[in-house]
Amino acid sequence: MRPERCGRRFASASQPRGPFHERKPNARRRSDGGLSNEREISLRSGAACAEALEGEGYKVTKVDVGRDIAERLAAIKPDVCFNALHGKFGEDGCIQGLLETMGLPYTHSGVLASALAMHKERAKAVLREAGVPVAESRVVSRAEAAEGHPIEPPYVIKPPAEGSSVGVYIIREDQTHPPQELHAADWALGEELMVERYIHGRELTCAVMGDEALDVIEIRPADGLAFYDYESKYAPGGSIHVLPAPLKPNVYQLVQKLSVAAHRALGCRGVSRSDFRFDDRPAGTGELICLEINTQPGMTSTSLVPELAAYGGRSFGELVRWIVEDASCNR
């Protein structure tokens, strides 16, 4: 794998009163090489965070991360590393382990929480034990998923350790076969897939800062988009965010309570974001299901956490300042 393909960005920042270093990443969207399929989003998150931190008075050094990241960080000697990476390597415990080894304070969750949250099936086991409702699922090989329905439709196929809806397929009741893409010779999302019962209803999300739940957003894909996929998440106008989500108070508060419970159960630090489905159709089940928890939420212009923070009275600059000042080792 060529070094440029696993690039990420970091930023180091310092303030007159005391230096901080902040980092930023690069992400890649394609799975044709590199360590993340979300490079594009990491680049956008990193650029936004660097600009905001500079506006807050920090000295920011951007680093495009490759295989030589340890040597580069040793030369820079940052006070704090702001992790704006998404996807593998950046949010699965790998970079966190490196920073712990180097003794460099960093933002967001630590090694164990990051690794657990990134693997959806293992995260579910922990959440289930903590009383957070999750959808029934199991892990199968790509060959098994491709040859016939591994569970009764409707269901969802997704790589167990990808983010931003990369590689997600929704199999409807009337589909006689799994998606043909699973047979592709150039498939690059791994040979292990999670199949999960499809949860009908509304898409909800809630962020946690420290131990405090922020508000709840309902996400509605724009016309022509099937679900809250990669395009919905990151293309301008790709989705409609309703804030606060139009829910009954008891449901709204339950989303917040479960978000904090998920954050604590996995041992998350800093900011996390939990995604839910709520089936309030007239003939629906009424269930509220946690789909997953994200330890490195997006920080782009269309991202949900900055929007939730702004609704609660925190500017984007104040949000990234809080994240940097929360940084530490042994997370």
pLDDT category, 235, cuts 50, 70, 90? low
Report, as an integer, the average pLDDT of 60-89.
90
pLDDT of residue 163: 62
Which has the minimum average pLDDT: 123-137, 164-178, 224-238, 266-280?
A: 224-238
pLDDT of residue 66: 80
pLDDT of residue 166: 72
Query: Is the confidence at residue 42, as pLDDT, over 90?
Result: no
Report, as an integer, the average pLDDT of 143-154.
90
Task: Check if 38 is active-site.
Answer: yes
The percent of residues in the chain predicted with pLDDT above 90, rounded, is 61
Which one of the listed residues 22, 162, 215, 292 is annotated catalytic? 292
Query: Is the confidence at residue 14, as pLDDT, over 80?
Result: no
Pick 304 or 29 by higher pLDDT. 304
b/e map 59-90, b = 16+ CB within 10 Å: bbbbbbbbeebeeebeebebbbbbbbbbbbbb
Report, as an integer, the average pLDDT of 149-158.
92
pLDDT category, 167, cuts 50, 70, 90? confident
pLDDT in tens, 250-283: 999 999 999 999 999 999 999 999 999 999 999 9
Report, as an integer, the average pLDDT of 157-172.
81
Which one of the listed residues 155, 275, 321, 331 is annotated catalytic? 275
pLDDT of residue 236: 60
Query: Is the confidence at residue 149, as pLDDT, over 70?
Result: yes
What residue spans define the domains of the chain?
Answer: 3-107, 120-133+200-295, 137-197
Of 76, 302, 320, whose CA–CA distance to 62 is shortest?
76
Task: Check if 275 is active-site.
Answer: yes
Task: Check if 298 is active-site.
Answer: yes
pLDDT of residue 48: 92
Angle between helices 94-102 and 69-76 (to 10 degrees): 40
Pick 228 or 119 by higher pLDDT. 119
The percent of residues in the chain predicted with pLDDT above 70, rounded, is 83
Which one of the listed residues 22, 28, 37, 38 is annotated catalytic? 38
pLDDT category, 21, cuts 50, 70, 90? very low
Which pair of tokens denotes residue 159? 């790589």
CATH of domain 3-107: 3.40.50.20
pLDDT category, 18, cuts 50, 70, 90? very low
pLDDT in tens, 281-306: 999 999 999 999 999 999 976 789 99
Report, as an integer, the average pLDDT of 307-321.
96
Query: Is the confidence at residue 112, as pLDDT, over 50?
Result: yes
Query: Is the confidence at residue 151, as pLDDT, over 70?
Result: yes
Which one of the listed residues 28, 142, 269, 273 is annotated catalytic? 273
Which one of the listed residues 294, 307, 321, 331 is annotated catalytic? 294
195 with 179: CB under 8 angstroms? no
Task: Report how far residue 255's alpha carbon sits from residue 274's, in angstroms, rounded to the nearest whole number.
Answer: 9
Task: Check if 273 is active-site.
Answer: yes
Task: Check if 292 is active-site.
Answer: yes
Query: Is the confidence at residue 31, as pLDDT, over 70?
Result: no
pLDDT category, 176, cuts 50, 70, 90? confident
Query: Is the confidence at residue 92, as pLDDT, over 70?
Result: yes
Which one of the listed residues 298, 303, 321, 331 is annotated catalytic? 298
- DSSP H helices, the chain, are 39-55, 69-76, 94-102, 111-118, 120-129, 142-147, 230-234, 249-266, 304-311, 316-325
Instruction: Provide the CATH topology of domain 120-133+200-295.
Output: D-amino Acid Aminotransferase; Chain A, domain 1 (3.30.470)
Report, as an integer, the average pLDDT of 147-169.
84
Q: Which pTM value belongs to this model?
A: 0.82
Which has the minimum average pLDDT: 41-50, 82-91, 221-230?
A: 221-230
The three-class DSSP label of residue 114 is helix
CA distances for 288 relative to 135, 168, 207, 247, 300, angstroms: 10, 21, 16, 12, 27
